[in-house]
Each structure stands twice: as C-alpha cells, then as structure tokens.
Amino acid sequence: MCNPVLKHLIPAVKLGDLELKNRIIMAPLTRSRAGEGDVPTPLVAEYYWQRAGAGLIITEASQISPQAKGYPRTPGIFSQQQINGWRTVTDAVHSRDGKIFLQLWHVGRLSHPDVQPGGVLPVAPSALAAEGEIFTSAGLKPLVTPQALTEEGIRDIIRDFRKAAENAREAGFDGVEIHAANGYLIDQFLRDGSNKRTDKWGGSAENRVRFLKEIVASVVPVFGAGRTGVRLSPVFDGFSMSDSNPAATFGVAAEMLSRFSLAYLHVMQLGSEAESFDFTALKTQFGGAYIANGGYSADSAAQAIAEGHADAVSFGTLFLANPDLVSRFASSAPLNEADKTTFYQGEDKGYTDYPVLSGVPQGGEGQWHWMGLTDSQNATGKSNKGEK
C-alpha cells in the first residue's frame, strides 16, 4: 500500500520561482536567541542548519526597523551587523542545499516603550490598546495604548519594508515572507476591530487592505514576485484581534494579492472561528500556491495536499522539536516532544540539542558546529548534505 506521506509530502514542488525538494515547510517561530544588537549568532545558524531538510525554511519574524521591535532578543534586518549575522545563517542552510526566506515583521501596537527608541509609544493604525501583557527585559508589563500612525509614518514603514527586503537580499536569502498575520501591524490594518481610521487606510475592506497592498508593491521588485510570499491569519483571535466579516475582508485581501503572482500565500488556520471559515474559498480567491498551517500531523498534511486544500504544509512546534522532521515523516519514526519551557529561553537547551535519527546531520562538537566556513570540508563534506 502506498504511503500517503511519501506520496504527497515528500515529492518536490514549485512555489513561484523556487523548486523545493519537498512540501514540508518550516513555519516561522520566534525563539528569542539573538545576540547583542539583535544580531543572529552562530548558534542561530546552527539551529537553522539542523533543519535545512525542510523544503523551505521561513525564519522567525525579524523586525524591519528599531520601531518594529516587540520583544527582547528577536533578530532584526536593519543594521549591517544584523545582515552579516543573517549571512552566516543563509550560508549554513545553503551548505545543505536548503532554501530559506526571511519573514519581515513590524509588531505595531504589540510593543512597549521599554523596547522603543527613546521610550516612545508604539504605533498602530488607531489608538486602541490590545488587552494583555507583553514580555519586556524588565518582565511582564501591560500593553499600552499606541499612537495612531500619520500618513508620513505609514509611508516611512512601507519604505522600511522595502529596505528590509533589500537587506535580506544582501544577507543571501532566497526570498522574503511579509508577515501580515497574528495580530501584528499589517493585520491590525486589515481588521476592522483594530482599524478605526476614517481616511484612505481605513473604513472599507478595500481601504484596510491598502497598507498590505502598498507594502507588497514596494517589496516585490527586490526579489521578484516569485520569491515573495505573504502570511495571513483570518481567524486568529489573540491580542484582542477581531473582524466583523473575516470572509469578506480576507477575500478582498486574497484577490488583491492574486494580482501580484506571488510565490505563495501562507495561511495560519487556527482560531475560534476556524471551523466556520472557508479556507478552500480563500485558496481559490488567491489562485496561486497555498501553504496551510495550523496543528497538522504528517497524515493530515498529506490528506490536505491530496484533496487539493494545500500545495504544501508548514510545521512549527514539530520542527522546533525535530530538526530531522522530514526524515522522521518519511520513515514514520517517533517524534520528539517539545519542551515548552525553552521556547523563548535556554540558549542551546531546547534549541539545538534535540536528538536526531542516526545518520542525520546534527551539528555540535565532534561533527560540525557552525562557526563560519573556515574549512573547505565544512562547506562540502558529507556531513552537510541535505536529507533525501
């Protein structure tokens, strides 16, 4: 009997201009391991190197500017030091024939003066605070009421997205994903629960989609449409996010995005209204390659692809705990369990120390620890070959 995982998840797929070796995508995962200056370290490079068996790695969200930051020790892509740090990561992934996109991020109102330049208020489409607390270097603090963006401020952020994409290209990435999901700035513009503007950036769904549209139009020329993706989360309801008609709002967004011929649309399908939302219709409205995300197993992912609900599936926590997830799926091997206490802290613990199957590259002392390509064998040796 044919193994559905081997039949539907392991085969290569083309997304935009990319030929991927399989349909198993590593979802973006905030890990808070960046070094001083929010620079990716050699440990970050090893983490991604270990997971280069994925058809595509989408990195953790990375702030496009100092203003875009929301949490301690998240990486940026606005300084030369950050570009250099990311170059070490992309070199590491490419040494195993992997593909890697950088996720571009602005958190909007989900920030705090403690991490903002000059201690100013964070920005958002409207001066509405989200409920809850945010983790800062001084511990948990209540989210604050942001300042509503001016027209000039909006234009500055659109330019910041473009510059961040240019920096990602300099850092050696294969493309970029625009983070328009999970209650962050672009999502705040999309939803009428967080966007109460009365100018051309608010009101109708077409106006609320304008911010995303102009960011995409600004970013696409950097890598080309075939190497640019967008992530949405139509039913995400964390951080006080809501919309009066998500089907209509995100339908307008998907149809708008379809006109760019993007590499893919990446959709997080988790939320309290997930069962009633028609994700298949969203896929049809977009019309291009669709990456599904949200609690999938190997079997359910294979089924989604077999039934035409997705072209590829992304995995978050499973990739966190299983660097060799592709090999484990292919061989039906047991999966490691994730240690939630180390998701956002622990340095190498819960980060690069998860066990892998015999014969799979794992890095570390005695095999290879990514400290830069100073030895030609490290760049070309057998231990760096990708999973088959």
Catalytic site positions: 184
- Which among 276, 279, 314 has a CA at the least distance from the CA of 297? 314
Query: Alpha-carbon distance 42 to 158, whole Å?
Result: 30
Q: How far apart are alpha carbons 265 and 84 in whole angstroms?
A: 28
Question: Alpha-carbon distance 70 to 123, whole Å?
Answer: 11
Q: What are phi and psi of 287, to 5 degrees?
A: 85, -10
Cα distance between residue 48 and residue 351, in whole Å: 10
Tokens of 344: 């956002």
Q: How far apart are CA 346 and CA 341, in angstroms?
A: 8
Q: Which amino acid is at 305?
A: I
- Asked if residue 334 lies in contact with residue 354, where contact means CB atoms within 8 angstroms, the answer is no
8 A C-beta contact, residue 143 and residue 115: no
Taking a C-beta distance cutoff of 8 angstroms, is the pair 82, 65 a contact? Answer: no
What is the helix (H) or strand (E) element at residue 248, kind and residue range? helix 246-258
- Report whether 257 contacts 265 (CB < 8 A): yes
- Maximum distance among all alpha carbons in the chain? 63
**Judging by beta carbons within 10 Å of its beta carbon (0-12, 13-18, 19+), is residue 34 exposed, middle or buried?**
buried
